[in-house]
Amino acid sequence: MRRVKKILNDPAKVVEETLEGMNLAGDGATKLLPGNIIVADREKAEKPALLIGGGSGHEPMFAGYVGPGLADGAVCGQVFAAPSPDAIVAATKAVDCGKGVLYVYGNYSGDNMNFDIGAELAEEDEDIATRTVRVRDDVAAAPPERMDDRRGIAGDFFVIKVAGAASEAVDTLEELHRIAAKAEANTRSIGIAVSAGSIPETGEPTFELGEDEIEIGMGAHGEPGAKRQKLAPADEIVDQMMDLLLVDLPFEKGDEVALLINNLGSSTPMELFVANRRVRARLADAGITVHRTEVGPFITSQEMAGYSITLMRLDDELKGYLDAPASSLAYSN
């Protein structure tokens, strides 16, 4: 198996050095705390707070989305690994403004376990109320009747964007949880991979594909998708992805959506825009209106080649929060 070349120092310290560099790139907009925690560097307002997090290796997710109109803080684990309960508690204390903290993260077993432990410790030891929204947008991971078995992939971004705006507009943790849960329930994604990412400490690819193979529905860590097949023209691949995506919610004629074409790491902008062209044609044929489009690297998997397509069905409430101002290292609106 061919090792992946990376220009790093000590791979065992890559998460700490990555976060240090991201924090410095914010030029004072964020603060880096012990435990691989980044928080917004601003006066605390009396509001429910938003804490996001998960494994590193998916940059700019999660640390890149800390700032006004987005998350109050992010807690980051090692590459493709959940943050520890102790770090989650420390991050919860750092962002709490007296009205509780909402956790938003992808639906993975390690994150679920550690955030649940962190929530229990925060409530019992620190008297901080918490609520949780687990993003389960990957339609290839499990059928609709098993939503709790679905992974969180690029749909995390739309849920974070809505929740971040709502956290600055509502008074209670319960109302923030309602809005974030609504955003999550209306979001669906599917990805495709043509080559693997890797783990920096080993340099080994996380999976193998033949030179002429692709995997439709591949997860962000290399988890199996819906099917493996031969490489085909872009329009055929997008059609297969959209066939799985549109029926899942289901999305229907007259719907208005936000669209995200996410680069998984090393695909070119050319490939993403070619895909967007076909996605927009399929949506138009289905009578679905696109309110806004985002194209770029929102959640990556090291140098994995491929992309994902995310749709969030909108109503006036979700649209308002999605369009609200936001500012962070990785995203501004």
Annotated active-site positions, please? 58, 221
Nearest to residue 50, comparing CAs of 103, 4, 94, 116?
103
**Angle ∠(86,91,95) on CA atoms, nearest 5:** 150
Is 51 strand, coil or helix?
strand
Which strands make up the sheet holding 37-40, listed edge to edge? Answer: 30-33, 37-40, 73-79, 49-56, 101-106, 130-135
Q: Which amino acid is at 298?
A: F
Distance in angstroms (rounded) separating the CA atoms of residues 208 and 127: 47
C-alpha distance from residue 89 to each of 94, 130, 183, 327 (Å): 9, 11, 25, 25
Q: Element (H or E) spanning 317, and its range?
A: helix 316-323
Nearest to residue 97, comparing CAs of 203, 171, 17, 187?
171
**235 CB burial (10 A radius; 0-12, 13-18, 19+):** middle
Contact 263, 273 (CB under 8 A): no
Number of alpha helices (DSSP H) and beta strands (DSSP E) in the chain: 8, 12
Give residue 200's Cα distance to chain centre: 20
Q: Which amino acid is at 106?
A: G
